């Protein structure tokens, strides 16, 4: 196109990953080519209020939440616009593409993607189906089971099951041995995730996980290396190299990920022969199986002693913080953040045309 594209960049959101979204937004918006794009920055508070944000500095210094200028993406397909409060009136700003920089619930789970579909505005990343099933760890496991790819054994617990906490413990103990990991089915960034070593700690972990979701995933413990692969592309997705997470904590908790300086990532780890190819192939197969589009980070374990590759989870809006694996893996392969953003936006238009 011979004109600048107007990009609506959404960040923040109502999930437990609100702060991580803000960190990602700073990096994504700063890396956008200002010769190609006019960026409308829209921040969503944890209460769900949509605000026009003047610049990246307002995100960096945490002043954006005190803004009073509303900015709402219109669901009217004839508008294809953001409505910005101008005094007592709304000003219509036409939008070419939406770049959601949202993690977790109400951003990565298909809900906001449904709004984009209603608005008929091209948008970056996975669609409604892929976002919804990938956000829900239980349903992801059901899909991956059909591929014959190894994954941790698990038990699903619902909020209705939680009315009988002792019964939940018996259900888990009938299938799995301690220690086990307890996760909210639809939370991210390791929020609400705990390790249980006996019945008492399992009860505590279940009670914590249910604060984040109505469905809980209890998994067997896999001892091994935590490895991640980035997938990029539309209808012909490609896998990056494979990186490794070196957590400072017993496992990669939220605090270990973002606030423990001893946690590290290695974007060029050494693997036994054949492992890299297996992980990359599995990552693309899983991405296709969930109807992925645009981008995702697919996480695995490399089991200790056996060197078996075991699928962990898929993230359809991976982090873009300064320590996030997804952009680092592509940068290592010669795709800088600015080019990566260009590709993601181009893919959004390709899907819209298709």
Residue 7 pLDDT level (bands cut at 50, 70, 90): very high
DSSP labels, 72-122: EE---TTT-EEEEEETTEEEEEE-SEEEEE--STTTSSSHHHHHHHHHT--
Please give the pLDDT value at position 263: 64
Quick one: tokens of 203? Answer: 């009860």
The pLDDT of 16-32, averaged and rounded, is 96
- Grouping H, G, I as helix, E, B as strand and the rest as coil, residue 191 is coil
For residue 189, pLDDT over 90 is answered with no
- pLDDT, one tens digit per residue, over 130-184 is 999 999 999 999 999 999 999 999 999 999 999 999 999 999 999 999 999 999 9
Tokens (6 digits) for 104: 């977790």
The SS3 call for residue 193 is: coil
Peptide linkage before 179 cis (omega within 30 of 0): yes
* pLDDT tens per residue, range 49-101: 999 999 999 999 999 999 999 999 999 999 999 999 877 888 999 999 999 99
- For residue 347, CA distances in Å to 3, 9, 105, 286, 352 come to 18, 16, 24, 19, 9
User: Given this model, what pLDDT does residue 264 score?
Assistant: 83
pLDDT at 336: 97
Instruction: Summarize pLDDT for 202-259 with one digit per residue, the tens.
Output: 999 999 999 988 999 999 999 999 999 999 999 999 999 999 999 765 554 555 454 5
Unique residue bearing structure tokens 């220690």 = 179
Query: Could you tell me which residue, 254 or 191, shows the higher pLDDT?
Result: 191
For the stretch 106-112, contacts whose Cβ atoms lie closer than 8 Å and that sit 24 or more positions apart, written own/partner, are 106/13, 106/14, 106/15, 106/48, 107/10, 107/13, 107/14, 107/15, 107/17, 107/21, 107/44, 107/317, 108/15, 108/134, 108/135, 108/188, 108/315, 108/316, 108/317, 109/135, 109/136, 109/186, 110/135, 112/10
Q: Which residues pair with 43 in a beta bridge?
A: 11, 51
């Amino acid at each position: 196109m011979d004109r600048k594209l107007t990009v609506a960049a959404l960040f923040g959101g109502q999930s437990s990953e609100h702060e991580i979204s803000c960190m990602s937004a700073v990096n994504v918006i700063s890396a956008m080519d200002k010769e190609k794009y006019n960026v409308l920055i829209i921040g969503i508070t944890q209460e769900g209020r949509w605000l026009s944000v003047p610049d990246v500095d307002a995100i960096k210094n945490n002043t954006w939440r005190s803004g009073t200028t509303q900015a709402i993406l219109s669901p009217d397909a004839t508008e294809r616009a953001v409505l910005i409060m101008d005094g007592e009136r709304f000003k219509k700003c036409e939008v070419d593409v939406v770049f959601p920089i949202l993690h977790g619930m109400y951003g990565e789970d298909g809900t906001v993607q449904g709004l984009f579909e209603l608005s008929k505005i091209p948008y970056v990343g996975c669609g409604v189906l892929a976002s919804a099933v990938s956000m829900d760890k239980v349903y992801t496991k059901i899909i991956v089971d059909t591929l014959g790819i190894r994954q941790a054994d698990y038990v699903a617990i619902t909020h209705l099951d939680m009315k009988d906490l002792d019964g939940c413990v018996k259900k888990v103990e009938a299938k799995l041995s301690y220690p086990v990991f307890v996760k909210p089915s639809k939370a991210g960034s390791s929020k609400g995730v705990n390790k249980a070593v006996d019945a008492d700690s399992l009860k505590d972990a279940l009670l914590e996980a249910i604060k984040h979701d109505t469905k809980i995933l209890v998994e067997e413990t896999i001892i091994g290396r935590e490895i991640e692969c980035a997938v990029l592309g539309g209808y012909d997705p490609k896998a990056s190299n494979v990186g490794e997470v070196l957590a400072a904590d017993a496992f990669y908790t939220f605090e270990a990920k973002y606030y423990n300086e001893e946690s590290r990532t290695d974007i060029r780890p050494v693997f036994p022969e054949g492992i890299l190819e297996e992980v990359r192939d599995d990552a693309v197969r899983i991405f296709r199986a969930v109807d992925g589009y645009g981008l995702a980070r697919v996480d695995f374990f490399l089991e200790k002693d056996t060197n078996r590759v075991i699928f962990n989870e898929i993230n359809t809006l991976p982090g873009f913080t300064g320590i996030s694996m997804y952009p680092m893996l592509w940068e290592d392969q010669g795709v800088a953040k600015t080019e990566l953003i260009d590709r993601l936006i181009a893919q959004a238009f390709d899907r819209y045309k298709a």
